[in-house]
Structure 1
Amino acid sequence: MVTKSSKAERKSVYDQKLCKLLEAYTRVLVVSADNVGSNQLQGIRKGLRGDSVILMGKNTMMKRTIRAHSEKTGNTTYLSLVPLLVGNVGLIFTKGDMKEVSDEVEKYKVGAPARVGLIAPVDVVVPPGNTGLDPSQTSFFQVLNIPTKINKGTVEIVTPVELIMKGDKVGSSESALLAKLGIRPFSYGLIVQSVYENGSVFSPEVLNLTEDDIAQKFIAGLSNVVALAMATTYPTLAAAPHMFTNAYKNLLAVAVSTEYTFPQAEKVKEYIKDPSKFAAAVAVAPAAGSGGSAAASKVEEKKEEAPAEESEEEGGLFGLFD
């Protein structure tokens, strides 16, 4: 009876803690905790201490508490967390920047050996080079079809070898070889699987979005809205400038082809009747912009005139003394 009572008390304490966290926080990171040891988890807790709280527990218990709390408070936004509680997962409640929290969690990943029977989370490639193993160990490489040669009394791998592919189960030969080479190909830690905020659930990729990415996505969406509005002739604020421009072009085409006119078309019609006016208008801008060069040319003309006056004076002086 004592055991059952203590177990019920622990459940009650856990329920109360989870309910308080749900009320206090609106941002939650759902993380996978596969192959994460207790010491590693304790280090992560210390690193996040301040703005974030990690809560682990049985999925059934967390789901029951979330549903009960949602019914009690009438706040159904918490129910978005229930479908995410699958597998060995935990919850990181935070009031800080979720990107910074995710980066902090990433720091605590630790290397791990390739144990027999594990499913490889990444590709494992054995690099070429001297292994430091004596020639008697070549049987490992032969079993795995790894090309080697003997160099200075040790085994040397000739080319890079894809030893294990992502998703494959680690065999005994691969595990033994990687252990002999001192390669720890896998790393384990808390992995962010989903991002929850105020009832909305996002993929963890949103944490890596920059302002430029958001601006590009907005521009792409705006372009689609404009294209749809133009194709369906449905007026929108984004498409209005293009619609007005196209309407003006159509009216201008009618005015040019007929006697009909309006103020904005009169100048175009004048240019069509007398193209020289258009050429004169184009020439006005360069002339206006070359005021400095015109002034400079006037100065040069004056400089050219000055020697002529001096020659006359010289001629007068020469005649006087002559």
Structure 2
Amino acid sequence: MPLSPERKKEYFERMKALLTDYKKCFIVQVDNVGSKQLQDTRKALRGQAEILMGKNTMMRKVITNYVEEFPDSPVQQLIDICKGNIGFVFTNGDLGDIRTVLESNVRPAPARVGGIAPSSVTIPKGPTGCDPGQTAFFQTLQISTKISRGQIEITNDFQLIEEGTKVNASQAAILKKLNICPFTYGLILQSVYDNGSLFDAKVLDITDDVLTAKFGEALSMVASLSLILGYPTAASIPHSIANAFKAVLAITVGLPSYTFPKADPYKAIVCGDAE
């Protein structure tokens, strides 16, 4: 049902206010997310962020009008992101905290015929609770079974569905029979807008520890190349000094009549071993 002119005006004004008041937002995919789940997510984010849903055409129109009114605004790049079943989560808080709330608010869901599997599904081995008369059903799907204690038992873990494939009727039926809800649905983070920069949400996986480790790897590589090429850099100089000390120490240890303070402990060890 289309919105009335009054409701459209309210929506335009609200989105314009959000674009003005907030400098960060998540672009989220909302496939298979029910109204109750969305309401619970709004409650969890109260005071930290605001969720905005709507038709893509309306959102693109609001952003276009906003850019025309404020030509220097970088929000124009959000126009092309308004595709598919998406929404916005606006915030000025820590993106990591908001992400934690969004990813924690998920719901288990059954496999639906014709739906695309968001993840692979494996049926675990063990008793199924099904009577022996239903063995043929499992055989149709090539699931190895045996009869144990009056019920069908799956003998090995069986991968039933691969990620990204369509769920067929037989797969959905056996999961329902086994009372398995294999999928979880919630707001899926697609992109992040932060003070004019638009990037993939996976960038948030890069923590300080990851950056530190990557920097250490790069520093080691620069030092190695510098030493091989004989070209001193800030990364290689500590290694060069250490290597020079080792060379001087090796010569000093072999000279009984010469030493220097830093070499004394090493000479004592060598002389002690020789004795």
Range class of TM-score, shorter chain: 0.7 to 0.9
Q: Aligned-pair distance for 1:83? A: 2.0
What amino acid sits opposite 1:80 in the alignment? Q
TM-score normalized by the length of structure 2: 0.82
Q: How many residues align?
A: 260
Separation (CA, whole Å) in 2 of partners of 1:66 and 1:141: 53
State the 1:79 CA deviation.
1.2
Give, in whole Å, the separation in 2 of the partners of 1:136 and 1:288: 82
2:80 match: secondary structure: helix
Q: Which secondary structure state, in structure 1, belongs to the residue aligned with residue 118 of structure 2? A: coil
State the distance in 2 between where 1:70 and 1:197 align: 17
Q: Does 1:133 find its partner at 2:143?
A: no
Give TM-score, length-normalised by structure 1: 0.71
The one-letter code matched in structure 2 to 1:203 is: D
Q: Which structure is higher in helix share? A: 1
2:233 maps to 1:239: yes
Summarize deviations over 1:188-220 as a string: whole Å, max 9, x none. Answer: 000111111011112222223221212233345
2:222–2:236 Cα contact (<8 Å) kept: no
Matching residue within 150, 167, 178 for 1:170 = 167
Please tell me whether the aligned partners of residues 29 and 86 of structure 2 are also in contact (alpha carbons under 8 angstroms): yes
**What residue is the counterpart of 1:286 in the other structure?**
264
In the aligned structure 2, how far is the partner of 1:173 from the partner of 1:110?
A: 23
- 1:88 CA drift (Å): 0.4
Secondary structure at the aligned position of 2:7 is classed as helix
Q: How far does residue 71 in structure 1 lie from its aligned partner after superposition?
A: 1.6
Distance 1:288 1:132 in 2: 73
**Pair 1:214–1:163, CA change in 2 (3 A):** same
Deviates more, 1:102-111 or 1:217-226: 217-226
Unaligned runs of 5+ in 1: 253-267, 291-322
Query: 1:213 corresponds to which residue?
Result: 210
Q: Which 5+ residue runs of structure 2 have no aligned equivalent?
A: 269-275
Task: Indicate conservation of the 8 Å contact 1:99/1:208, yes or no.
Answer: no
Q: Deviation digits for residues 104-134 of structure 1, max 9, x if unmatched?
A: 1112100001111111111110000000110
SS in 1 for 2:172: helix
1:115-171 CA-partner distances (Å, limit 9, x unpaired): 111111111100000001101111210110111111111001011111111111111
Partner of residue 121 from structure 1, selected from 108, 118, 121: 118
> Alignment partner of 2:90: what SS?
strand
- Quick one: distance in 2 between partners of 1:144 and 1:151? 20
Closer/same/farther in 2, CA of residues 101 and 171 from structure 1, 3 Å limit: same
- Partner of residue 109 from structure 2, selected from 109, 112, 120: 112
Match of residue 74 from structure 2: 77
Stretch deviating more after TM superposition (47-56 or 204-213): 204-213
Aligned-residue RMSD, C-alpha: 3.3
Q: Are 2:57 and 1:60 aligned? A: yes
Q: What is the CA–CA distance in structure 2 between the aligned matches of 1:130 and 1:281, rounded to whole Å? A: 78
> Deviation per CA, 1:27-59, whole angstroms, max 9, x where unpaired?
101110000000010000000000200000111
Corresponding residue for 1:256? none
Are 1:30 and 2:27 matched, yes or no?
yes
Q: Is the 8 A contact 2:28 2:86 kept in 1?
A: yes
Alpha-carbon shift at residue 276 of structure 1 (Å):
3.8
Query: Percent same amino acid at aligned positions?
Result: 42
- When residues 288 and 114 of structure 1 are mapped into structure 2, their CA distance, relative to the original with a 3 A threshold, is closer
Give the match for residue 273 of structure 2. Answer: none
Aligned partner (choices 16, 36, 39) of residue 39 of structure 1: 36
1-structure distance, mates of 2:90, 2:152: 51
Give 2:7's aligned residue.
10
Where 2:14 maps in the other structure, the secondary structure is helix
- Give the number of the structure whose alpha-carbon radius of gyration is greater: 1
